[in-house]
Amino acid sequence: MPHTPRSVIPRARRARAALLACVVAGCLIAASAPRSAEPQGIGDRLYPSLGNPGYDVLSYDLSFTYPGSNSKPLTAVTRIRARATERLESVNLDFTHGTVSSVDVNGAPADFTGAGEDLVITPAAPIPKGGALVITVRHTSDPMSGKGRDGGWVQTDDGLVMANQADAAHQVFPCNDHPSDKAQFTFHVTAPDGYTAVANGLPWGTRHTGGATTWTYRTQHPMATELAQVSIGRSVVLHRRGPHGLPVRDVVPAKDEAQLEPWLAKTPGQIAWLEKKVGPYPFETYGLLIAQARTGFELETQTLSLFEKGVFSEPAYPGWYVESVMVHELSHQWFGDSISPRTWSDVWLNEGHATWYEALYAEENAHRPLQERMKAAYGLSDRWRATGGPPAAPEPPRQGQKISIFRPSVYDGSALVLYALRQEIGRAAFERLERTWASLHRDGTTTTADFEELASRQAGRDLSAFFQGWLYGRKTPPMPGHPDWKSGSA
Ligand SMILES: [Zn+2]
């Protein structure tokens, strides 16, 4: 899709100190004619400008200071540790929607400028291939969503939460904003008295000074930028234990605690159910972040899934449905979070699996037959493929609606692929495949080809023709075992 830059990064700010550092170091590169700063991307078919080549991020250390209003910019410091995978004269980060005041690279001030949705940084000296990079960016992070922007900070009734999928983390902090580059995260969030801040991972201490508290959280597993979560609000944090003593913590508006508790109490049982299906829960903690906000979606932010409060208070939603939505986001901790898509075209691996376990849970716990749901999905599948593309080759997002890749063909249309696979290879091989997939690729990134290969291995035969039709065909192939199922006639 056409790139629509909306950079608010000041252009061509040249730090005088950088020049001085350069002179002292005898560096000639920066003294030569400045090269034009260009936005870069790693060539994702659906989001070509996301991510940047030339380095691998190892960790993010993010500091946010909340001013006590959710419509004013936060002040922030982003420190990125990375390793150069090629010689770098300049380094691109994805960032928009904030003002950068300074950038240091390896302790020395660096030049920077905005280009499209990139922050282009020119260090005092080139970074050699394999060299270490520590980039410190001082900036603001503006929670007011720009026109036509999806996600990033989300304003709630009492503060802020994040919803960065698929391409909005760089509206919040400078980063290599692509799930193929996972990294460790540390968060320091400072907020005035009366607020509580929670982020992904486990608490790592608090410090109280002069009417404000700084909370620190740290992830124990690598994470994609799109799954970062920071909640700031008038919240309570509720603690309980999951299977094997897993710490479960939920973050809810303080006034809603009693009403939400019956739902929150279901999480340990849901984790135990999923562990029986696919193996051990992959992270150090889990819980629900329930926000009084109108996002129109729930989101599997790592170790702390985001839900709109309305999911739990809408009288039209039956209990089994609410529970299946909870299981959907929980399933993503294995499928989508622990195992990240290498490209956004692989997102069917996230949503297909989350929808599959959502539907399977409803079958086993609420008598909602999976086969009926799959038959209904089969009936619609040709139309979904016609409008959104086949599951593993989705159409690019519509302009101005970047989350529009989240279409029926990657939800029920992709759960249908898993159903067809189970029909094709049998239940035992399918269940073995799922468990092996979850353990083999824990904390990794995978492609559709990886899944096809492992499925073939578990089935003991080449399934490439099967997957070609089911994942890439414009028409839905015949359903194994159900020759009477028809698609697309309505
Ligand atoms: Zn999902």
Alpha-carbon gap, residue 95 to 121, rounded angstroms: 12
Distance of CA 299 from the midpoint of ligand 1 (Å): 7
Q: State the average pLDDT over residues 245-251.
A: 98
Alpha-carbon gap, residue 381 to 387, rounded angstroms: 10
The pLDDT, as a whole number, for residue 10 is 28
Kindly report, residue by residue over 382-408, the tens digit of the pLDDT: 999 999 999 999 999 987 776 788 999
DSSP label at 86?
Answer: S
Question: Is the distance from CB of 344 to CB of 395 less than 8 angstroms?
Answer: no
Distance of CA 430 from the midpoint of ligand 1 (Å): 21
Distance of CA 327 from the midpoint of ligand 1 (Å): 10
**111-115 β-sheet, strand order:** 91-94, 118-122, 111-115
H or E element that contains 135? strand 132-141
Distance of CA 112 from the midpoint of ligand 1 (Å): 37
- Over the chain, what is the mean pLDDT? 91
Distance of CA 329 from the midpoint of ligand 1 (Å): 6
- ∠ CA 53-346-61, nearest 5°, is 45
Alpha-carbon gap, residue 61 to 219, rounded angstroms: 11
Distance of CA 135 from the midpoint of ligand 1 (Å): 33
Distance of CA 411 from the midpoint of ligand 1 (Å): 7
Residues 6+ apart with CB under 8 A from 460: 429
Distance of CA 273 from the midpoint of ligand 1 (Å): 18
pLDDT band at 27 (very low <50, low <70, confident <90, very high): very low
pLDDT band at 147 (very low <50, low <70, confident <90, very high): low
pLDDT band at 330 (very low <50, low <70, confident <90, very high): very high
pLDDT at 219 over 80: yes
The pLDDT, as a whole number, for residue 26 is 28
Residue 214, phi then psi, degrees to nearest 5 = -110, 120
Distance of CA 410 from the midpoint of ligand 1 (Å): 9
Alpha-carbon gap, residue 401 to 463, rounded angstroms: 35
Distance of CA 257 from the midpoint of ligand 1 (Å): 25
pLDDT at 489 over 70: no
The pLDDT, as a whole number, for residue 146 is 66
Distance of CA 65 from the midpoint of ligand 1 (Å): 30
The pLDDT, as a whole number, for residue 34 is 38
Question: Is the distance from CB of 152 to CB of 69 less than 8 angstroms?
Answer: no
- ∠ CA 312-314-318, nearest 5°, is 80
Alpha-carbon gap, residue 409 to 299, rounded angstroms: 18
Q: State the average pLDDT over residues 103-113.
A: 98
Question: Is the distance from CB of 246 to CB of 285 less than 8 angstroms?
Answer: yes
Structure tokens, 298: 């729930």
The pLDDT, as a whole number, for residue 20 is 29
Beta strands in 242-345 (DSSP E): 247-253, 288-291, 305-308, 340-341
Kindly report, residue by residue over 339-364, the tens digit of the pLDDT: 999 999 999 999 999 999 999 999 99
Q: Give the Cβ contact number of residue 134 at 10 Å.
A: 15
Alpha-carbon gap, residue 110 to 230, rounded angstroms: 28
Beta strands in 247-323 (DSSP E): 247-253, 288-291, 305-308
Of 441 and 25, more confident: 441
Alpha-carbon gap, residue 190 to 207, rounded angstroms: 9
Structure tokens, 134: 């520590």
Distance of CA 348 from the midpoint of ligand 1 (Å): 9
Kindly report, residue by residue over 263-316, the tens digit of the pLDDT: 999 999 999 999 999 999 999 999 999 999 988 999 999 999 999 999 999 999
pLDDT at 33 over 70: no
**288-291 β-sheet, strand order:** 235-241, 247-253, 288-291, 305-308
Q: State the average pLDDT over residues 126-147.
A: 93
If you write DSSP's letter for every residue of 369-386 in order, what string do you get? -HHHHHHHHHHHHHHHHH
Distance of CA 217 from the midpoint of ligand 1 (Å): 25
Kindly report, residue by residue over 153-188, the tens digit of the pLDDT: 999 999 999 999 999 999 999 999 999 999 999 999
Distance of CA 174 from the midpoint of ligand 1 (Å): 25
Q: State the average pLDDT over residues 454-468.
A: 98
The domains located in the chain, with CATH, are 1-233 (2.60.40.1730), 236-490 (1.10.390.10)
Distance of CA 323 from the midpoint of ligand 1 (Å): 14
Most confident of 7-11, 142-146, 395-399, 416-420: 416-420
Q: Give the Cβ contact number of residue 209 at 10 Å.
A: 8
Tokens 């985001």 found at: 306
Helix (H, G, I), strand (E, B) or coil at 466: helix
Distance of CA 433 from the midpoint of ligand 1 (Å): 20
Distance of CA 99 from the midpoint of ligand 1 (Å): 32
> How many Å separate Cα 469 from the centre of its chain?
28
Alpha-carbon gap, residue 84 to 132, rounded angstroms: 6
Distance of CA 324 from the midpoint of ligand 1 (Å): 11
Alpha-carbon gap, residue 119 to 126, rounded angstroms: 17
Q: Give the number of C-alpha atoms closer than 13 A to the C-alpha of residue 364, restricted to the C-beta side.
A: 12
Distance of CA 208 from the midpoint of ligand 1 (Å): 37
Distance of CA 90 from the midpoint of ligand 1 (Å): 36
Q: State the average pLDDT over residues 179-208.
A: 98
DSSP label at 325?
Answer: H
The pLDDT, as a whole number, for residue 131 is 98
Percentage of the chain modeled with pLDDT above 70 = 91
* Nearest to 186, CA basis, from 218, 162, 213, 215: 218
The pLDDT, as a whole number, for residue 36 is 67
The pLDDT, as a whole number, for residue 153 is 96
Strand partners, 447: none
> How many Å separate Cα 315 from the centre of its chain?
30
Distance of CA 416 from the midpoint of ligand 1 (Å): 15
Alpha-carbon gap, residue 304 to 156, rounded angstroms: 16
pLDDT at 25 over 80: no
Strand partners, 91: 121
Indicate the burial class of 214 (C-beta count within 10 angstroms; 0-12, 13-18, 19 or more): middle
The pLDDT, as a whole number, for residue 150 is 73
